[in-house]
Amino acid sequence: MIIPALFQAIPQGVDYVRILPELVLSAFGIVVMVLDPVIEETDSHKTLGLIALAGAVAGLVSTWYMSGFPGLAFSNEVRVDTFSVYFHFLIIAIAAVIILSSFEYMAVQRIRAGEYYALVLFGTVGMVLMSSAVELVLIFIALEISSIATYILAGFRRNDASSSESSLKYFLLGSFATAFFLYGVALIFGATGSTNIDKITQTLQNRPAPVLLYVAMALMFVGLGFKVAAAPFHIWTPDVYEGAPAPVVGFMSTAPKAAAFAVLLRVVYVINAPGRFWFLWVAAALSMTLGNIGALVQTNVKRLLAYSSIAHAGYILVAFAMTTSENSSVGISAVMFYTAAYAAMNVGAFVVVSHFGNAGERYVTLEDYEGLGRTSPILAATLTLFLLSLIGIPITGGFFAKFYVFSAALKANLIWLTIIGVLNSAIGAYYYLRIIVVMYMREARTEIPVMRISAGLALALVISVFATLYLGILPNQVLKRAQQSAQDLLAQPAPDPESPAQPPVAVTQHY
């Protein structure tokens, strides 16, 4: 009796298509992991890197394939729609670029590559799953996969005390925050009797939100706020980013954040989290202000970019503070677009930083960047483009993203938040400008060795530059996707006919 029941419950083929990217990435991750001890270390950088890259590309292809099969899978735990496809694409693309840029980094830093690439791929699995999961349990596990992978990645520069410190801080605080998140999940479960987002939504539809739900939301905000580095939970960011390897920072400042934003979007808009407005408002304002102000006097480029990532989280949060549903749709697409634009420019920036850092990441202070405009004009120009995008100067994705977010905010009549935001973006311009200033307007005091740009890094840069410019000049396609996603997300969740909904307490009949 059990066996047939089991078979009955085993998911159908289409279910697997709906997690195909995850499967593909995991498979490649395992291949990398298995091959690692087999291959000579000298070869492993290239070979394993290429396999990982192939995995990421395959992940992109499978995402494309998956996009043809929208719907729910695995007992309504995974939802494939434009929204999740968008984040799949984004996160896997980030991973691909990071892998590309890591070829050189791994070799220069003499880091064993096998685990690194496998961890990137596995981490990516967690992140993409976060974006498509609609079951809090699954979200939690996916979140942990992505978090643990990044904790480890942060500690990969093993000879450097700061790297392990970064890893430790990230790990302890991350777990601390995860506990809050988990507590929130528990209280949601307590408040609604379910952990499936769609069901929670249905449950909450026609009755006032219980007080417990407010507490639950508060705790979830703490956890997710930590993951996206929103003030006042941003505090770990500078230390961790400073110590972690540069490409990893590029990765973890964008991909897990994108995933966390995806979760936050689901939590905020699908569950229609009560009482969120002022929290998000304050968090947005605080993040922007603290991030920008903190960055003003930084001299370490990685740390500076860490503060900037706090500020950018703030800009993204501005778009969260929409209340009515028509504004929500703009807000959601603004978040999504901003995430993509931020990914393009920030990954690019960290790729350049990792290259300039040289062995042991020796050259990461502003002083080291003096005169780079002359010694390494192409990289300096590229970094300038990314920095301009971070400032929000036209023709870059950063500009349009900011523009879009603020236009959404004004549409929702968030006038003060918009003003705080635009003023912040003006102040923020100062510290990005400082990097440009030292690169171009100062002469090098000591000669800093600059490596030749390797092919992988060059390709990574080209992709980042292209993406930054594409999002700035022709944002239409991406915007359309984001807007479609917003529609999908906001549409009331309907049970997928292919996998019949089961009551959450199905097993209780045994009792």
132 binds another protein (CB under 8 A): no
For residue 396, the 8-state DSSP code is: S
Mark residues 53-92: x for contact with another protein by CB under 8 A, - for none. --------------------xxx-xx--------------
Closest CB 90 distance from another protein, rounded Å: 19
Closest CB 100 distance from another protein, rounded Å: 19
Is residue 287 within 8 A of residue 391, CB to CB? The reply is no
Task: Write the DSSP assignment of 416-461 as a string of letters.
Answer: HHHHHHHHHHHHHHHHHHHHHHHHHHS--SSPPP-PPPPHHHHHHH
Mark residues 149-188: x for contact with another protein by CB under 8 A, - for none. x-xx--xx-xxxxx-xxxxxx-xxx-xxx-xx-xx-xxx-
Closest CB 94 distance from another protein, rounded Å: 18
193 binds another protein (CB under 8 A): yes
195 binds another protein (CB under 8 A): yes
Give the residue, chosen from 84, 102, 194, 287, that forms a contact with another protein under the rule CB under 8 A: 194
Give the residue, chosen from 54, 144, 490, 495, that forms a contact with another protein under the rule CB under 8 A: 144
Listed residue (486, 179, 201, 235) closest to 339, CA to CA: 486
Give the residue, chosen from 54, 58, 61, 209, that forms a contact with another protein under the rule CB under 8 A: 209
Residues 344-403 that bind another protein (CB under 8 A): 358-360, 362-363, 373-377, 388, 391-395, 399, 403
Contacting range for another protein; rule: CB under 8 A; set: 47-55, 219-227, 250-258, 458-466: 219-227
Ranges assigned E (strand) in 298-414: none
138 binds another protein (CB under 8 A): yes
Closest CB 238 distance from another protein, rounded Å: 5
The vertex-176 CA angle with 174 and 182, nearest 5°, equals: 100
502: number of Cβ within 10 Å? 12
Listed residue (350, 359, 422) closest to 392, CA to CA: 422
Closest CB 95 distance from another protein, rounded Å: 14
171: number of Cβ within 10 Å? 18
Q: What is the 3 state secondary structure string of 72-98?
A: EECCCCEEECHHHHHHHHHHHHHHHHH
122 binds another protein (CB under 8 A): yes
Listed residue (82, 123, 80) closest to 247, CA to CA: 123
Mark residues 314-333: x for contact with another protein by CB under 8 A, - for none. --------------------
60: number of Cβ within 10 Å? 18
Tell me the number of residues near another protein by CB under 8 A. 167
Interatomic CA distance for residues 78 and 196, integer angstroms: 10
Is residue 57 within 8 A of residue 33, CB to CB? The reply is no
Give the residue, chosen from 66, 98, 217, 343, that forms a contact with another protein under the rule CB under 8 A: 217
CB closer to another protein, 22 vs 81: 22
137 binds another protein (CB under 8 A): yes
Closest CB 291 distance from another protein, rounded Å: 9
| First and final C-alpha spacing in the chain | 18
Residue 196, helix vs strand vs coil = strand
Mark residues 412-431: x for contact with another protein by CB under 8 A, - for none. -x-x--xx--xx-xxx-xx-
210 binds another protein (CB under 8 A): yes
278 binds another protein (CB under 8 A): yes
